[in-house]
Structure 1
Amino acid sequence: MVETVTALGMVISSMAIGEYDKRLVIITKEFGKITAFARGARKPNSPFLGGSQPMAFGEFTLYRGRNAYTVTGMKISDYFSNSMTDIDSMYMGMYFLELAGYYGREGIEASETLKLLYMAMKALTKNRIPVDLIRCIYELKTLVINGEYPNVFSCGNCGEKQELDYFDINRNTMVCKKCHGKVPDNEIITDSTVYALQFIVVTPVDKLFSFTVTDIVLKQLKHIIGSYMDKVIDKKFNSLEFL
């Protein structure tokens, strides 16, 4: 009797293999990032046709082989690619998949990563907050989950937790007004931006995509998080070229 396992996950990439098959990479709650083959998934009448597309989320039944898994069944609850209302949201979603894949590791459970990915996709389909804010939240929380986020709670010089108004990208830390000396006015960070950074770091994933910010705060968030991402990630993501 063939032994199978069941995993909750989202397809992050799909590649044609042979005449009818597909090679899937799936971020799963239980097993982290896995490779799974969906036999016959490219046939028009295949039960795996829709569920073998990127952004498909649901329950996958898998046979565990020596080097990879084989899909034996799937119950897809969300087809996020079918719910995107514009091209920017679609490519942003593809970027989120790429970033999840960058950090994903096989054999290491990924419940928080999967939950964040799911909630970010939901946010993209609802259009209630700006796409760029969804990206900022997703990027920073991904860094938090993987233990690579910057210090946004205290001054990197004196430890002060008040009057933080400058981000030192070279040292990955906020710096207070007393310690940073004179800096250009356009590099001064507002209290609202500092609060937004702290909120993203400490708030549970399922409550993250529920706020909005002013244009000034969003601009500062994009600059700080974007600069930090460029520093710590050594990969170019194809989807960002389109964005």
Structure 2
Amino acid sequence: MKEEVVVHGVVLSEHSQREFDKRLSILTMEEGKMTVWASGAKRPSSPLMAGSRSFVFGTFSLKKGKSGYNLQSVKVDAYFEEIALDLEKACYAAYFLELADFVSQENLPAEEMVNLIYLSLKALLHKDLKNELVRAIYELRLLELEGEYTEQPPFSTKKAVMEAWGHVLSSPLNKLYTFRLEEGTLLDFCGNVEMLCRESFPMQFHSLKILKSLKQ
């Protein structure tokens, strides 16, 4: 009998396979990163079509086959379609998924990472939060999850930066995006986070290349 599995998570990426199928990378709370095959998901009439797209959060019912897991059904909790209406925000959001795909592992539960992605995408849609701050908070908390962080900013002694740093590392996830920074402090905070990211995530992310071209 084929094994059935129910997991909760987010679709990190989707890739076309043959004419109507997809290969998904899903980050799940229970099993970490999983490669899942969605047969017929590109057909307009497919019940899997809506739930087999990047940024979809939900409950995924899978069946284990000979070559991996096959998607049976999806109960969608959130789509985040609004992000696609703003190209810059869409680039930041895509980067969040790319980075999570880069650091996450199979068979390593990822409940906190899934929740971090969800709250970070919600923060991107908040009108009073700058995209750069949301990105830096997301990166620093992800660094903390991966054990690649420093207790204090690497090259800043500004009180506001140090306080923000401590807040991101120690706060519950639902309290992460509850502060603002003035422009100079924001640049300092982001610069410190960026330095750690360059050391810990040695990869050229496609979404960041597009983001850079938008800001030129």
TM-score, normalised to structure 2's length? 0.93
| Per-residue Cα deviation, 1:75-123 (whole angstroms, up to 9, x for no partner) | 011111x111411110100000001011110100001110101110111
- CA positional deviation for 1:3: 2.6
User: Counterpart in 1 of 2:154?
Assistant: 167
- CA positional deviation for 1:230: 0.8
User: Counterpart in 2 of 1:233?
Assistant: 201
Asked if structure 1 preserves the Cα contact closer than 8 Å seen for 2:27 and 2:110, the reply is yes
> 1:145-184, aligned counterparts within 5 Å?
145-152=145-152, 167-168=154-155
Query: Which segments of 5 or more consecutive residues in structure 1 lack a partner in the other structure?
Result: 153-165, 169-187
3-state SS in 1 of match to 2:151: coil
User: Counterpart in 2 of 1:144?
Assistant: 144
3-state SS in 1 of match to 2:154: strand
User: Greater CA radius of gyration, 1 or 2?
Assistant: 1
Higher relative helix content: 2
Bigger shift: residues 133-142 or 117-126: 117-126
3-state SS in 2 of match to 1:142: helix
User: Counterpart in 2 of 1:83?
Assistant: 82
Query: Percent of aligned positions with the same letter in both sequences?
Result: 33
3-state SS in 2 of match to 1:73: strand
Q: Residues of 2 paired with 1:134 and 1:23: CA distance? A: 29
| Per-residue Cα deviation, 1:100-153 (whole angstroms, up to 9, x for no partner) | 01111010000111010111011112333111100010000000011110131x
Q: Residues of 2 paired with 1:42 and 1:27: CA distance? A: 21
Give, as a single letter, the amino acid of the residue that structure 1 aligns with 2:94: M
- CA positional deviation for 1:39: 0.6
TM-score, normalised to structure 1's length? 0.83
> 1:1-243, aligned counterparts within 5 Å?
1-80=1-80, 82-84=81-83, 85-152=85-152, 167-168=154-155, 189-243=157-211
Aligned length: 210
Query: Which segments of 5 or more consecutive residues in structure 2 lack a partner in the other structure?
Result: 212-216
